[in-house]
Every structure is written in C-alpha cells, then in structure tokens.
Amino acid sequence: MPRPIQATIHTEALRHNLSRVRQSAPDARVWAVVKANAYGHGLARVFEGLRGADGFALLDLDEAATLRGLGWRGPILLLEGVFELRDLELCSRLDLWHTVHCNAQIDMLATHKTHVPHRIFLKLNSGMNRLGFAPAQFRAAWARLNVLPQVEEISLLTHFSDADGGAGIAQQLAVFERITQDLPGERSLSNSAAILRHMGHAGHGEAGLSSDWIRPGVVLYGASPDHPAHSVADWGLQPAMSLRSRIVATQTLDVGDTVGYGSTFCAPVPMRIGVVACGYADGYMRSSGPQGTPVLVNGVRTRSVGRVSMDLMTVDLTPVPDADIGSEVTLWGQSSDGVLLPIDEVAAAGGTIGYELMCALAARVPVVVA
Ligand SMILES: *Cc1c(COP(=O)(O)O)cnc(C)c1O
C-alpha cells in the first residue's frame, strides 16, 4: 500500500470560482492564470474545470505547448513574454500572445521572421517596479511596436502591487490612465485581489476599475488574495485542492514528555497524539508558531504539536478521542465529509500565504481529480 497522503483536485470548485470571478467583472474576458503548473494543482488536472475561461495565461513555453496538446485552441498569453529569439518561433507555431516588457523583446520581435503577425500585450510599469516600461518610455515602445510588420495588435497591460490592501490601486491606476488614455487597444489590469476588492461586486467595488481582460490566479484555486482581511468564506470561494493523509501511529504522553526533533513540544497534561504521514518533503511547511498549525482529524479541528519532519508530523488528539491509526487527517481544503480548513489559515500559522503552500505541493504526493 502506498503512503496514505493524497491531494484531490476539485473540478467543480474550479468551475465555481471561475463563475465567482465573472460575477465581479461580468463584462471582462478572463485569463485563467495557470503559471507554476496551475499553482501546484497540475495544468492538465485543472484544464477541465477552467476551460470555461476566455484564455489561459502562464509563463513557460512548455506549459503553453501542454495546453495546445490538451486541445485548447483559444488565446494563450505569455505573462513575461519571450526570453530568447527562438521562443518567438514557438509563439508563431502555437499562436501564443505575448507580453512585451522591455526593449530587448522588441529587438527580438523586429528580427523575427513570421507570416503570422503577433498579438502583443505591452506592459507598463505603473509603480510595481518589477517588469514593464517606465511611464516615460511607454509611448515610444508602443510607437516602435506599432510599425513592426510582426505585430498584429497591441493591448495594454499593467500589474498592481497593493490591490490586496496597503497603498491600494489608485495611484498606479492614475499612472496607467494618464499614459495610455489616447492609445487604442484592449486593457488588461486586475489580479485576484483587484477583481474582488476593486471591481464592481456589491459592497466591495471601488469605482473606476474596468478592464477588458482580467487575470485571476489564486482566486480560481479557492484561496483568498487578501487573507486575513477576507476569508474564502467572505469571498464565496471553494478550495480547489484538498490535501489529506492518515494517522499511521499514536503515542500516549505523560506530563513532561516531549515530541519530535528538538523536543520543542512538552506535554502539559497527559495526552494522546497522532503521527501523520505528511512532512516537509510533501510540501508542508516546517515552520510554524508556538500554537502549531491547524489540521482536521476525522473532520474535527485540532493542531500540530512539535516539529514537522521530512515525512511525518504529530497532532494533538485531545479533541478527537475516537481517532486512531487510519483516521483521516486533512492538512488543507476539505475533509471527505465536507469540513473546511482554508489553506490561508494553515499558511498564516506558518508565516506564509496560501499561494506559496499550494505551489509547494511536492511531486511525490499522488494527486487525483474529483
Ligand atoms: C501571477 C499573476 C497574476 C495572478 O495573480 P493572483 O494574485 O494569483 O491573482 C496576474 N497577473 C500577472 C502578471 C501575474 O504574474
């Protein structure tokens, strides 16, 4: 029998989350962002649930080829554009739309021989200071692209740094509007946080944000982009991944007994603990605060105790006296009887975010699609 750990991808939840996104931005077309192997879920595994999107956005050319191999004939956008000249061959062959964020990419495009002109998303650096043309250089870049025979159509794109809170989006939006106001072309703004917080959903919308193409990522997978300000329940999202395992051993502790490497947990009272087949080699976090991380045992909420090791972790069974070897443990997502444990809460207990945790799911974990 294999180790009992298993991840389940919930196709219905992906569909639900996509329709939730459309509720917030009913007029926009949706790029389903599936970079990083669909945020750790597996590109082929999420395809069925997300094929109702208008296009797929990603980074790797081989992921784009995988999508074409799955039969997707609609738009595919390379969010970082090409990295070298020969990538443009593949863009022509696979009909990929690509971001242009720097002059080196325009140079490559100018030397690329193609009969099929490309659809370009020209990226403005409106304040994030990662990728994109500075406001003062943006219009020159647009003019350069506009005369290239290799270019069919230019759309305009920017990315927000603080859509989930903090400084908000107003300043970057103002820069984008000032620089692009008289340029033709479709607009693409809005990651998950901008869609949920700043597009017209009742009670949450901040006037003024519209976008022809929106780019939801994490929201599709059922994590909150602005936890803890809002939970998945607040946003009406469902987890697209559940990570579950089982208890493989139990131990009974006396007062003062310690657990695991470094003896970091010391039993304050007599207690039973369960040893779970899940460790950091499965993608679980090793670090957490003194309260451990939340887990469900038989659908009942409890917490980890002691250090997470490579293949195993230990959990307090006090709230679940009937738990024993073989009992189900839900690390995140939902238990098989439907109790929810949001990945955002697990991540927060380890000092990180749901994004990082889902992307880190290890290759050794078997995955099934439900
Ligand atoms: C990853 C990414 C997104 C999606 O971000 P989420 O916060 O997951 O919605 C959108 N746009 C760009 C350019 C990205 O790189």
Residue 73, pLDDT above cutoff 60: yes
Q: What is the mean pLDDT of residues 80-104?
A: 97
- Nearest to residue 52, comparing CAs of 36, 29, 69, 68? 29
Contact 10, 240 (CB under 8 A): yes
If asked whether residues 191 and 259 sit together in one domain, one would say: no
If asked whether residues 51 and 148 sit together in one domain, one would say: yes
> How crowded is residue 2: how many other Cβ atoms within 10 Å of its Cβ?
7
236 inside domain: no
User: What pLDDT, in 10s, does the model give residues 114-131?
Assistant: 999 999 999 999 999 999
Q: Give the model's pLDDT for residue 209.
A: 86
Helices marked H in 169-304: 170-180, 192-198, 232-235
Q: What is the mean pLDDT of residues 319-343?
A: 98
Tokens of 115: 């009969």
Q: Which atom of ligand 1 is nearest to the CA of 215?
A: 10
If asked whether residues 81 and 218 sit together in one domain, one would say: yes
Q: Give the model's pLDDT for residue 116.
A: 92
If asked whether residues 115 and 207 sit together in one domain, one would say: yes
If asked whether residues 79 and 154 sit together in one domain, one would say: yes
More confident residue, 144 or 201: 144
β pairing state of 294-297 and 313-316: unpaired
If asked whether residues 22 and 159 sit together in one domain, one would say: yes
Q: What is the mean pLDDT of residues 144-170?
A: 96
- Give the integer Cα–Cα distance in Å for 128 and 131: 8
Domain limit, last residue, from 190, 223, 256:
223
If asked whether residues 181 and 285 sit together in one domain, one would say: no
Return the bridge partners of 153, or none: 119
235 inside domain: no
If asked whether residues 258 and 349 sit together in one domain, one would say: yes
- Nearest to residue 274, comparing CAs of 235, 309, 240, 318? 318
User: What pLDDT, in 10s, does the model give residues 238-251?
Assistant: 999 999 999 999 99
- Give the integer Cα–Cα distance in Å for 82 and 121: 12
Among 185-189, 204-208, 314-318, 339-343, the range scoring the smallest mean pLDDT is 204-208
- Nearest to residue 189, comparing CAs of 166, 204, 208? 208
Domain limit, last residue, from 177, 194, 223:
223
Q: Give the model's pLDDT for residue 314.
A: 98
- Give the integer Cα–Cα distance in Å for 323 and 302: 12
| Residue nearest (by alpha carbon) to ligand 1 atom 15 | 79
Q: Give the model's pLDDT for residue 118.
A: 98
Q: Of all residues in the chain, what percent carry a pLDDT higher than 90?
A: 96
Q: What is the mean pLDDT of residues 131-157?
A: 98
| 209 Cα: distance to centroid of ligand 1 (angstroms) | 17
**What are the residues whose beta carbons fall under 8 Å from the beta carbon of 234, sequence distance 6 or more?**
224
139 inside domain: yes
**What are the residues whose beta carbons fall under 8 Å from the beta carbon of 277, sequence distance 6 or more?**
3, 4, 5, 245, 246, 248, 311, 312
262 inside domain: yes
β pairing state of 313-316 and 271-276: antiparallel
If asked whether residues 335 and 190 sit together in one domain, one would say: no
pLDDT band for 2, please (50, 70, 90 cuts): confident
Q: Give the model's pLDDT for residue 107.
A: 98
> How crowded is residue 74: how many other Cβ atoms within 10 Å of its Cβ?
11
The total number of structural domains in the chain stands at 2
pLDDT band for 280, please (50, 70, 90 cuts): very high
User: What pLDDT, in 10s, does the model give residues 218-227?
Assistant: 999 999 999 9
297 inside domain: yes
**From the CB of 33, is ligand 1 less than 6 Å away?**
yes
**From the CB of 96, is ligand 1 less than 6 Å away?**
no
| Residue nearest (by alpha carbon) to ligand 1 atom 6 | 217
Phi and psi at 241, nearest 5°, equal -135, 135
229 inside domain: no
User: What pLDDT, in 10s, does the model give residues 10-19?
Assistant: 999 999 999 9
Mean pLDDT for all residues in the chain: 96
**Omega before 228 within 30 of 0, i.e. cis:** yes
**From the CB of 216, is ligand 1 less than 6 Å away?**
yes
- Give the integer Cα–Cα distance in Å for 284 and 286: 6
Q: Give the model's pLDDT for residue 202.
A: 43
Residue 55, pLDDT above cutoff 90: yes
| Residue nearest (by alpha carbon) to ligand 1 atom 1 | 217
Q: Give the model's pLDDT for residue 1.
A: 72
264 inside domain: yes
**What are the residues whose beta carbons fall under 8 Å from the beta carbon of 55, sequence distance 6 or more?**
29, 30, 31, 32, 74, 75, 76, 77, 97, 213
- Give the integer Cα–Cα distance in Å for 193 and 290: 30
**From the CB of 163, is ligand 1 less than 6 Å away?**
no
If asked whether residues 100 and 205 sit together in one domain, one would say: yes
If asked whether residues 27 and 129 sit together in one domain, one would say: yes
Residue 9, pLDDT above cutoff 70: yes
pLDDT band for 197, please (50, 70, 90 cuts): very high
> How crowded is residue 93: how many other Cβ atoms within 10 Å of its Cβ?
12
- Nearest to residue 81, comparing CAs of 65, 97, 98, 61? 98
Containing domain of residue 245, as a range? Answer: 241-369
> How crowded is residue 94: how many other Cβ atoms within 10 Å of its Cβ?
14
CATH code where residue 282 lies: 2.40.37.10
If asked whether residues 46 and 181 sit together in one domain, one would say: yes
| 116 Cα: distance to centroid of ligand 1 (angstroms) | 28
pTM: 0.96
pLDDT band for 208, please (50, 70, 90 cuts): low
CATH code where residue 134 lies: 3.20.20.10
- Give the integer Cα–Cα distance in Å for 237 and 193: 13
Q: Which atom of ligand 1 is nearest to the CA of 216?
A: 9
**From the CB of 159, is ligand 1 less than 6 Å away?**
yes
Q: Give the model's pLDDT for residue 203.
A: 43
Residue 204, pLDDT above cutoff 50: no
35 belongs to the catalytic site: yes
In the three-class reduction of DSSP (H, G, I as helix; E, B as strand; rest coil), residue 193 is classed as helix
| 217 Cα: distance to centroid of ligand 1 (angstroms) | 5
Domain limit, last residue, from 188, 223, 258:
223
